[in-house]
Chain A
Amino acid sequence: MKETSSLGLNKTGIKTSPLLSKQMVTGMEEFRKMPLDESITANEFRQAYISESGEAAKVPAPATAKGAISSGMQMLKGNDPRILIDKLGERIAFERTGVRLYDALITKCELLDTEETVSRLRTFREEEAHHFEIVRDVMEKLGGDSTAMTPCANTAGVASMGLLQVISDPRTTVAQCVQAILIAELADNDAWDLLIQLADEAGLAEQVKQFQIAKDNEDTHLEFMREWLKELTLRKDTEAEQGRH
């Protein structure tokens, strides 16, 4: 396990095997063929599917067991609570996954990094868990179902799949994992801004205060990850640097 990648024989580029690569690009012209069917382009094909497609998921209606609109929902300003419910669901999912991203990073860093760094990561992990709890409670107070996967929660999960794959791979370096966490924190940071505006428009003054505290935490996470990645990438004594001597 390493902090940054080493130099070595990477075989993906054409310069690794010049002879084979020359053979590959030589004499190709005679094998090129005109397409047999030009009637539909990929754009037209995809646009037809987009036009014909339904929704992948719907926002779960915030209702009581008897089907009435919940009292929490009735307090909201504006007529359409769908977007707020969807976005609360997204934050619940994202913060919960965020905890797991930190868990994976901590597991790796316990082997390599200073106790100080690991301790900061543990703090961030707890803050992510706390953010999950805050949003969960808000969702429940409004009469929504905090255990449901809303449409934006679903797409946020799809979008995060690659991040988790990077961090949980035992072979990835700390720098690669920090890059992945940075992507998560950048998205998280903007998402909190948006959620605060949404809650504000809905007249949820008390919740806006709670969300603002979470956003302040997220600012710290983001700044820490940015600096850490810079440190791992720009410092002069990286293993890659040592490999050249």
Chain B
Amino acid sequence: MALDLFSHKGFSLEKQLMSWKEMVMEPISKTDDDAFTRVRIILMNGIELESIKFSHSCARMNKPLQRPLAMLRRIDQQQATTINWLLGADHSPLETTIAYEQVAIEVTAAVAQTEPDPYLAQVYRYGLLEDFDHMYRYSALMDRLEGKDSNNILQSYTDVIVGRPTMEEHRSPEDELRNPYDRKKAAPLTKMHALTIMAAEQQTWNYYMNIGPLFSDPLARQLYAEIAHIEEQHVTQYESIIDPEETWLEKLLMHKATEVYNYYGCMQQESNPRIKALWEKFLDFELGQFSTVANLFKETERRDPQEILPASLPEPIHFKSQREFVRQTLQNEINLRAKGPNFVSLEEESEASKIYRQRLHKDGIPSEIVALNYIHTPGGELNLRKNMPQKPSQNLSKGARL
């Protein structure tokens, strides 16, 4: 059943402030909770952080909005804390990285299939194959550096194979900018998809930039540097699909609607009752925040929010394994390249992107070095040894660590 945005008033803002104890809940179980519980946690943390980031920019440009935005951000920040703190400290930074890439793959693949605008669906499929490759590179790092299997985190929902090779993802800035949707014509779902995926990528950017220096291994440090640079590209790509002609308040309203939309989807599909109750509570919070912003929108713009949002929200994003769709996309589109706002064949790639890439790769390519001849195997690469008739050392492909 779809949620009606305008008939639920949710919690009033004053009732939304939480105590430290309410914010710092018992974390999920890394080993026993479903991987999609963790996926939802990472996604919603990203969505809250994007809401805060946008709100700060908005406040800097709109004096009359500063007071209400300051209050809304307090709640957002508490929500982000509550959600992000659900990840237990037994997740190593690399394990959390694997989970972040699972979010990027499974959520982007789900969005690509329900996106009504065919051009934007192509944008999502394009980004998807790049995040898919990051999973492969990080899995190789995790296996070969820490002796851990990324599937312990992925729980067999997500494949670990080569995507569009990370080394070929580096592009010149002009090849990262896409065409935006038209705010007057685009479906609300299109707008919420764009904000959702942009938020997820933005938080992945933040995360890699923060944890990259925590590694002592120089190869890990370079790999995080390389993939964080792609995340910068991805944030650029996804923010470029959002119509820059939207007003500040229109954007603010869309942020709040996107939060409601995603909390609703999380609540509907959550398997852990304790976390489901949290999503329900935050959905009520978000409806209260949406109502506040809808009033601000009416007062400031003298427009009805229903001009840009439907009363009834679209079908939520499906949180489930998108293996078949991802494999199909891999087969059909691995050789696509971006040139300006368009997607072209491998041969038509711009010279500017090729030159840009050469400059970055001149001293070696961490994403290639880390995964040289890596074959993901449940239980770790070492499990490949059991199929080898002789001593593994006599059968090694270059780079393999058996």
Which residues of A pack against B, CB within 8 Å? 8-14, 16-17, 20-21, 23-25, 27-28, 31-33, 35-42, 45-46, 49, 158, 165, 169-171
- Which are the 6 A-B pairs with shortest beta-carbon distances? A20-B156, A12-B152, A49-B218, A37-B368, A21-B156, A31-B161
Are A28 and B364 interface neighbours, CB within 8 A? no
Are B368 and A35 interface neighbours, CB within 8 A? yes
Q: How far in angstroms is the closest Cβ of chain B from A93?
A: 18
- The number of A-B residue pairs with CB atoms under 8 Å apart is 104
- Within 8 Å by CB of B370, from A16, A17, A42, lies A42
Task: Give Cα distance in the complex from A11 to B155, angstroms.
Answer: 6
Are A42 and B321 interface neighbours, CB within 8 A? no
Q: Is the interface of B mostly helix, strand, loop or mixed?
A: loop
- Within 8 Å by CB of A46, from B152, B153, B219, lies B219
Known: A31-B162, A169-B90. A12 touches B31 (CB 8 A): yes
Are B90 and A165 interface neighbours, CB within 8 A? yes
Pairs across A and B, CB under 8 Å, 10 listed: A11-B32, A14-B156, A17-B156, A23-B156, A24-B323, A28-B161, A36-B368, A41-B369, A42-B372, A49-B218
Within 8 A of A (CB), among B321-365: 321, 323, 327, 330, 361, 364-365
Q: How far in angstroms is the closest Cβ of chain B from A160?
A: 15
Known: A31-B330, A33-B162, A169-B89. A45 touches B369 (CB 8 A): yes
Q: How far in angstroms is the closest Cβ of chain A from B155?
A: 5
> Which residues in A have their C-beta under 8 angstroms from that of B370?
42
> Which residues in A have their C-beta under 8 angstroms from that of B379?
14
Known: A165-B89, A165-B90, A169-B88. A42 touches B218 (CB 8 A): no
Known: A17-B155, A171-B88. A42 touches B323 (CB 8 A): no
Known: A37-B365, A40-B364. A12 touches B373 (CB 8 A): no
Task: Give Cα distance in the complex from A128 to B165, angstroms.
Answer: 53
Known: A40-B369, A45-B219. A24 touches B159 (CB 8 A): yes
Are B156 and A32 interface neighbours, CB within 8 A? no
Q: How far in angstroms is the closest Cβ of chain A from B156?
A: 4
Are B31 and A32 interface neighbours, CB within 8 A? no
Task: Give Cα distance in the complex from A46 to B219, angstroms.
Answer: 7
Q: How far in angstroms is the closest Cβ of chain B from A119?
A: 30
Task: Give Cα distance in the complex from A40 to B159, angstroms.
Answer: 26
Are B372 and A41 interface neighbours, CB within 8 A? yes
With CB as the reference atom, state the residue of chain B lying closest to A168.
Answer: B89
Are A10 and B375 interface neighbours, CB within 8 A? no
Are B161 and A32 interface neighbours, CB within 8 A? yes
Task: Give Cα distance in the complex from A37 to B161, angstroms.
Answer: 17
Are A35 and B399 interface neighbours, CB within 8 A? yes
Task: Give Cα distance in the complex from A36 to B366, angstroms.
Answer: 12
> Which residues in B have their C-beta under 8 angstroms from that of A38?
368, 372, 398-399
Are A42 and B156 interface neighbours, CB within 8 A? no
Extra inter-chain contacts (7) besides given A31-B162, A32-B162, CB under 8 Å: A11-B32, A14-B156, A23-B156, A40-B365, A41-B399, A42-B401, A165-B90
> Which residues in A have their C-beta under 8 angstroms from that of B398?
38, 41
> Which residues in B have their C-beta under 8 angstroms from that of A158?
216
Q: How far in angstroms is the closest Cβ of chain A from B131?
A: 16
